[in-house]
Structure 1
Amino acid sequence: MHIGERIGAYRKRRGMSQDALAGLVGMSRSWLSQVERGVRGVDRLSTLNDLATVLRIDVADLIGRDWVLAPDAPEQVAAVDAIRSQLASYHHLLGEETTPWPLPQLRIGAVQVHQAYQAAEYHRATEMLPALIEAADALDGYQGRDDRETHLARCSVYVAAAKILTKVGEHQLGWLAADRATHAAIAADSKAAQGMAAYQIVIALLRSERIDDAERVAIRSAEGLMPLIGSDKPDTVSLAGSLWLISSVIAARRTDRATASERLNSAGDLADLLGHDGNHWWTAFGPTNVQIHRASVASEFGDPYDVLRAATEIDTGALPAGLQGRRSRLHIDLAWAQTQAKNDMEAILHLQQAERVAPEAIRYHTIAREIVRELLRRSRKPTPALTAIATRAGVLD
């Protein structure tokens, strides 16, 4: 039995409903349903402890063994402490002097950190952030000849920070960075920037299990952009399309198939209007990303064969250069599907391919680490390939 099955068994033994248990540990019923079905893992040790306390058992009872495997959270990126300190410094509020960067330098820095993130080079991207955030903070409230462009650059920095922080498990810091992005976007008076910031707010809310709030922001932001779209406005088309894609994932987490399909189709229509695989406003939006999300939505529903069918229509080579994170995501979804279908060797091959495409992808992807754990559990004698993956992913001590 995997962890989710054990949670379900102990819950039923206690005579508790999913609504009751989820409420007692501060999570949603849909989250618990997905955990019990093995669609997603428990990505916080604190949540695992809370579950064990409510069910009146030991954590080891849920794990099914002593703590031989590493905790389910990724290792902390060293630069996160520096980012946390910078976000808490408020030099600009306290009137403490900092040296502002010239606008071109801030723009270049924002581009570089976005590129590192999309290449799944999370350590490198994180190391860039403290200085960039300090420079962006120094320009808070800036009014001058380049007022709008300055705030757009600040928004881009904060969006990149939100992406990276949520990726490495710092969800609350990610939410804070996304909130600063929204203020910069509003200061810039840019609907596109507001759409980009809204997407990161949605991601941060999702990672914090605030699914209803995430859905509300995603839908209202997408609807707000729809009157502005046109074949000559690829930025707006891409941002609206990305918001429909994430809203389809949210619908899948609520196990609402009809709504998830409807939102995927809305994104597909926008991808057709765009007519190519692009990366406008760092969205990676286009026909191929829509297809990747179809596979991801199928995995959210726990349908491995639908994932495999969707994958037959995907050519990740069509994606723009540098989108290694997107490419690796498809292999992770396929590894999950093959694991569910009991095709362990094929699952290992997809995990290897995900690592080849983006070496840091598995370590910072909760479901990928859960896949590795499941494969280890089922294997009487793990292959050298699986053992190596597990070690690099931080699953094995």
Structure 2
Amino acid sequence: MSESIGDRIAIYRKRRGMSQAQLAGLVGRSESWLSQIERGVRSVDKLSTLVDMAKLLGVDVETLSGRPWRFAPNGGTHMASVEAIRNALTGYHHLIGTQAPMWPLAQLRTAVVEAHTTYQAAEYDKAGRLIPELLAVVDAYDDRSPDVQIVRTSAYIVAAKLLRKVGEIDLAWITADRAATAALDSGSDAARAHATYQVVGALLRSQRTDEAERIAITSAERLMSLVGPEDPELVSLTGSLWLLSSIIAARRADRRDVTERLTNAEQLAGMLPGDGNYAWTGFGPTNVAIHRTTTAAEMGDPHEVLRHASFVDTNAMPEGLKSRRAQLHFDLAWAQVQRRHDPEAVLHLLEIEHVAPESLRYNVLLHEMIRELLKRERRNRTPALRQIAMRAGVLK
């Protein structure tokens, strides 16, 4: 079995001649916390903390994580269709005058809907196979009408989501930027908000957190004066920006901002008739509740994760939102790992696999969680762990 993140932190800390107290203090944590990390008693509870430690130790994040940085923070396994997506994005048929496929707008809309639906069902490999041709088609459209630009925006957005999921940050940037251009051309506030979310997500994946937060908050505040119950799509997009900004605040461990932003999202969710999936956001009361567990996990508080999770009923969400359901079990698995309740953690890993099997393969933080469980494994307590690790690609 490969070394854990804790092992690697200890090795590079010692090479730098730093004590546990020094390194822990520089990342705002206690010496006992770092000691537990290095001994495998607990895991690094925030990606931002791992990034800070890598900088202080003078190494790349991939050196500490043991995974190529292009796969972090969500991707863990290379997706076969990535090169086809890259080729579609860099074909530039419209610039060099070569023949590109053309579909009627109705066909293009249908294809975009299928790609979004497949992505939200956590069928990432299938979505990856759909996207290259979809991108080639939208790039070839020279119709600048608002209707076409809205469809183009949505096509680039689903590509950006998938590429972020599998850690292809450079390609996610390209698609998010193209979504933003198309959205501005459309003149639609909803399309602009939708593209903004993807730009913020790309900034976060590139560790440009301050810029991401500024754009998310500025956009959300601007939209607050425009939203109303008569426009559930814009309500959902605005609420989603508040949810994303709450995650950013949690990474700064700013409980006040987390609470304020989740409250804003909750108020917007109250304008909707219930849980929905307007503009492919999955936004609604249940998604807000799931973000309460996720922000608690980002702030390293397993007991708060468990408390908030007890109020979540994922059955209230639209059936196709499998990745959202999986997120709740990811947070719960993390909380149980921190509490050293390993059998319960494994049960949540099994639930992730049941709800969204491909999530088990494309999440490097989940892989690290599995490695931590393996390091202290007692097979009579967690008999399913090794099979999960093999299916996730952590063990061969």
TM-score in terms of structure 1 length:
0.86
Unaligned runs of 5+ in 1: 23-27
Shift of 1:175: 1.2
Shift of 1:29: 6.1
Q: Counterpart in 2 of 1:107? A: 109
CA distance in 2, matches of 1:288, 1:52: 38
CA distance in 2, matches of 1:255, 1:298: 9
Q: Counterpart in 2 of 1:318? A: 316
CA distance in 2, matches of 1:123, 1:55: 32
Q: Is the 8 A contact 1:277 1:319 kept in 2?
A: yes
CA distance in 1, matches of 2:217, 2:348: 33
Give runs of aligned pairs for residues 213-228 of structure 1, distance below 5 A: 213-228=211-226
Q: Which amino acid is 2:303 matched to?
A: Y
Q: Can you list the C-alpha shifts for 1:163-187, whole angstroms capped at 9, x where unaligned?
A: 0001011111111101100111111
Give runs of aligned pairs for residues 127-138 of structure 1, distance below 5 A: 127-138=129-140
CA distance in 1, matches of 2:45, 2:224: 32
CA distance in 2, matches of 1:229, 1:52: 44
Shift of 1:225: 1.1
CA distance in 2, matches of 1:244, 1:4: 33
Q: Can you list the C-alpha shifts for 1:123-147, whole angstroms capped at 9, x where unaligned?
A: 00000001000000001x424xxx1
Q: Counterpart in 1 of 2:119? A: 117
Count of aligned positions: 375
Q: Which amino acid is 1:105 matched to?
A: Q
Shift of 1:213: 1.3
Q: Which amino acid is 1:87 matched to?
A: L
Q: Which amino acid is 2:13 matched to?
A: R
Q: Is the 8 A contact 2:282 2:321 kept in 1?
A: yes
Q: Counterpart in 2 of 1:142? A: 143
Q: Which amino acid is 1:343 matched to?
A: H
Alignment pair present for 1:246 and 2:248? no
Shift of 1:330: 0.3
CA distance in 2, matches of 1:11, 1:260: 32
Q: Counterpart in 2 of 1:171? A: 169
Q: Is the 8 A contact 1:167 1:364 kept in 2?
A: yes
Alignment pair present for 1:54 and 2:58? yes
CA distance in 1, matches of 2:59, 2:197: 36
CA distance in 2, matches of 1:277, 1:296: 18
SS of aligned partner of 1:228: coil
Q: State the structure with bigger RCO (CA 8 A, min sep 6), 1 or 2.
A: 2
Q: Counterpart in 1 of 2:194? A: 196
Q: Counterpart in 2 of 1:391? A: 390
2:44 to 33, 38, 61: 38
Q: Is the 8 A contact 2:157 2:179 kept in 1?
A: yes
Indicate the larger mover: 382-391 or 77-86: 382-391
CA distance in 2, matches of 1:84, 1:16: 42
CA distance in 2, matches of 1:394, 1:112: 28
CA distance in 1, matches of 2:321, 2:152: 23
Q: Can you list the C-alpha shifts for 1:268-304, whole angstroms capped at 9, x where unaligned?
A: 1111122410100000000000000000000000000
Alignment pair present for 1:76 and 2:78? yes
Unaligned runs of 5+ in 2: 38-42
Question: CA 1:367/1:94 → structure 2, altered by over 3 Å: closer, same or farther?
Answer: same
Question: CA 1:305/1:160 → structure 2, altered by over 3 Å: closer, same or farther?
Answer: same
CA distance in 1, matches of 2:19, 2:216: 30
Q: Counterpart in 1 of 2:40? A: none
CA distance in 1, matches of 2:119, 2:303: 30
CA distance in 1, matches of 2:250, 2:391: 30
CA distance in 1, matches of 2:173, 2:27: 23
Question: CA 1:109/1:133 → structure 2, altered by over 3 Å: closer, same or farther?
Answer: same
1:355 to 349, 353, 356: 353
Alignment pair present for 1:284 and 2:282? yes
Q: Counterpart in 1 of 2:99? A: 97
Query: Percent sequence identity over matched residues?
Result: 50
Q: Counterpart in 2 of 1:379? A: 377
CA distance in 1, matches of 2:121, 2:395: 25
CA distance in 2, matches of 1:123, 1:80: 10
CA distance in 2, matches of 1:303, 1:43: 14
CA distance in 1, matches of 2:172, 2:260: 29
TM-score in terms of structure 2 length:
0.86
CA distance in 1, matches of 2:27, 2:203: 16
CA distance in 2, matches of 1:8, 1:232: 55
Q: Counterpart in 2 of 1:260? A: 258
Q: Can you list the C-alpha shifts for 1:193-217, whole angstroms capped at 9, x where unaligned?
A: 0101111111111111111111111
CA distance in 1, matches of 2:164, 2:251: 18
Shift of 1:380: 4.5
